[in-house]
Amino acid sequence: MRVMKTVWLFKSSEGNDERYSDALDQAGFLAVVVPTLSFQWCNEGPLRDSLQRPQDYAGIIFTSQRAVEAVAEIYTKLAVSIHHQWSEKKVFVIGEATQIAVQKLLKLASIGQESGNAQQLAPIIIREIQPFDKPLFYPCGNMGRDELPKLLAQQDRDFRALTIYQTSPHPHLRHTIQKLTAGGQIPDAVVFFSPSGVKFAFPTFEDLNMSTVCMKIVAIGPTTNTALVEHKQSVWGVCPSPSPDGLLHVLARLQ
């Protein structure tokens, strides 16, 4: 009988996105979600002010599910007329998960779900938005990289960034890893979904004297891959798309 390969998913436990663990389970892996990140909303006043003035913007950019969720807390309470005005604006997203969140929580159509990072989304925005047009509203987290703003500014596309959530380590991260490794077992593969997850997980590994040498390390997208390389990790695979299918494509080599 074939032994199931164990895969740890270092991702946020917030929300109910079980697509990855479900896909892995169905493919014959033992998927374990390790809660890695926690989020706190901030700047609700400025966010409400911006959302109430869609006429000031050419569109809106979402680079994470969390940004969508933070916006939804306020957006869903605004007037229907405001919703209608935003529905006529361009909405840009990175990744399938963000696109699904925009559709589900904001009831808005979006562009760019095939992109996996800022470098891939920027050309889409530049194609859709004219130079020197109204700014794009860019609600983001405190740990967001400045790559996308730089790429847009270089092509004369204006934007207004606003930090609307703070990212911190999940309070149960260390305990969860301790519990999983108590029997001396290590996973066959570990999957990281964001640079923030990389930043918080590896110091915990070091504190617990946990070696990653025998693990296959996988990145969901090139930005997370860069973060792993910066932490001097040998990356075994990078998903061709930020989706369950992309992850299965990489993990197929484990079977």
pLDDT of 18 reads 85
Q: Are 126 and 217 in a shared domain? A: no
pLDDT of 13 reads 65
pLDDT of 1 reads 45
pLDDT of 117 reads 86
Residue 149 CA to residue 18 CA, distance in Å, equals: 31
Q: Are 80 and 149 in a shared domain? A: yes
Q: Are 13 and 49 in a shared domain? A: no
Return the structure tokens found at 76. Answer: 């869903």
Q: Are 174 and 69 in a shared domain? A: no
Residue 54 CA to residue 175 CA, distance in Å, equals: 44
- Which helix (H) or strand (E) covers residue 60, if one does? strand 59-62
Q: Are 231 and 115 in a shared domain? A: no
The three-class DSSP label of residue 244 is helix
Beta bridge partners of 163: 140
Domain boundary among 118, 136, 167: 167
Q: Are 209 and 148 in a shared domain? A: no
Q: Are 46 and 152 in a shared domain? A: yes
Lowest mean pLDDT among 51-65, 127-141, 212-226: 212-226
Number of structural domains, the chain?
2
| Per-residue pLDDT tens digits for 217-252 | 999 988 899 999 999 999 999 998 888 999 999 999
Averaged pLDDT for residues 168-172: 94
Q: Are 71 and 137 in a shared domain? A: yes
Q: Is the pLDDT of residue 16 over 70?
A: no
For tokens 């164990």, name the residue.
Answer: 6
The answer to whether residues 7 and 190 touch, using CB atoms and an 8 Å cutoff, is yes
Q: Are 101 and 135 in a shared domain? A: yes
Q: Is residue 1 part of a domain?
A: no
Report the first-to-last Cα separation within the chain, whole angstroms.
13
Q: Are 108 and 155 in a shared domain? A: yes
Q: Tell me the CATH number at 141.
A: 3.40.50.10090
147-159 b/e with 16+ CB inside 10 Å = b? bbbebbeeeebbb
Return the structure tokens found at 13. Answer: 């436990």
Q: Is residue 145 part of a domain?
A: yes
| Per-residue pLDDT tens digits for 171-188 | 999 999 999 998 777 899
Domain span at 143: 40-167
The three-class DSSP label of residue 136 is strand
